[in-house]
Amino acid sequence: MSAELRFLVVDGLTGVQAFARQMLEGFGLPADSVRCASDPSSALSLGLEFKPDFLITDWFPKAELTGIALHQKIKEVAPGCRLALLSFEVGPEQEAQAAAAGSRFLLRKPFTAADLKATMSRALEALAKERPELHQRLSAIMRSANPPGSTPPRIVLPAIPVPPALKPGDKVRFGDKTETVQVVVVSHGELVVQLKGATGLVPATKLQRL
């Protein structure tokens, strides 16, 4: 375990990256101990150099390098790296794969900021129990960030976009037009749809269900 805990957050949604970073810094971790990436390939290049102690990543099921495979690659240079997974699809198969990979948690998307904070807090508490010296280090960081008698700074959490539940045939508003959903897919960890008569894909967060 490194002198300072290092976290690598990998997610195609910038809102998830922003909140995870602010959440970890709110726990008292230095800003330079948290790095973010939008896709597994970029994360691998960063991770091989950064050597994180904890990888929080989308599952990226359709990517050539999945979240689990990314973790395995990073463990070649950082054997103690822990894994945590985020996924739109969570079922018995995904849970079994996550458990086999040693993932500390598998959090279903879309989730709220409170969901991620509570889940991550439990993961850090479990990690502290496993490593007493880590517990002392985190406690010291928290005391330094919030000395006795001081008022802890108010952290304004950025909103995590929550895509609406959609299925083919649903009517949605896109801009100033009413459209029909033709295909719903998960691409690079983000829920996107193809509208009837269109060829491109639109993020679900940009649609309003009617």
Structure confidence by residue, pLDDT tens digits, 163-177? 566 778 889 888 888
Q: Give the pLDDT mean for 138-160.
A: 49
Q: What is the pLDDT of residue 162?
A: 54
Q: What is the pLDDT of residue 163?
A: 57
Burial (CB count <10 Å: 0-12, 13-18, 19+), residue 75? middle
In sequence order, the 6+-apart residues with CB closer than 8 A to the CB of 47 are 8, 55, 70, 73, 74, 77, 78
Beta bridge partners of 85: 57, 106
pLDDT digits (tens, 9 = 90+) for 84-134: 999 888 889 999 999 999 999 999 887 777 788 888 888 877 777 776 666
H or E segment and range at residue 136: helix 132-145
Place 136 in a pLDDT band, splitting at 50, 70 and 90. Answer: low
How is the chain split into domains, by residue range?
Answer: 7-145, 171-209
- Name the CATH topology of 7-145: Rossmann fold (3.40.50)
Place 149 in a pLDDT band, splitting at 50, 70 and 90. Answer: low
86: left (phi over 0), alpha (psi -120 to 50) or beta: beta
User: What angle do the packed helices 14-26 and 113-130 form, to 10 degrees?
Assistant: 50
Q: What is the pLDDT of residue 101?
A: 94
pLDDT digits (tens, 9 = 90+) for 42-71: 999 999 999 999 999 999 988 889 999 999
Longest dimension (CA), the chain: 62
Query: Which two tokens mark 66?
Result: 């999945």
SS3 assignment for 27-62: CCCCHHHEEEECCHHHHHHHHHHHCCCEEEEECCCC
Q: What is the pLDDT of residue 93?
A: 92
> In this model, does residue 182 exceed pLDDT 50?
yes
Q: What is the pLDDT of residue 94?
A: 92
Q: What is the pLDDT of residue 141?
A: 52
Q: What is the pLDDT of residue 104?
A: 93
- 130 vs 16, which has greater pLDDT? 16
- 177 vs 155, which has greater pLDDT? 177
Q: Is 145 strand, coil or helix? A: helix
Specify whether the CB–CB gap between 86 and 59 falls below 8 A.
yes
Place 156 in a pLDDT band, splitting at 50, 70 and 90. Answer: very low
Q: What is the pLDDT of residue 1?
A: 39
**Cα end-to-end distance, the chain, whole Å:** 51
* Whole-number Å distance between alpha carbons of 204 and 22: 25
Query: Which two tokens mark 131?
Result: 């490593």
- 21 vs 157, which has greater pLDDT? 21
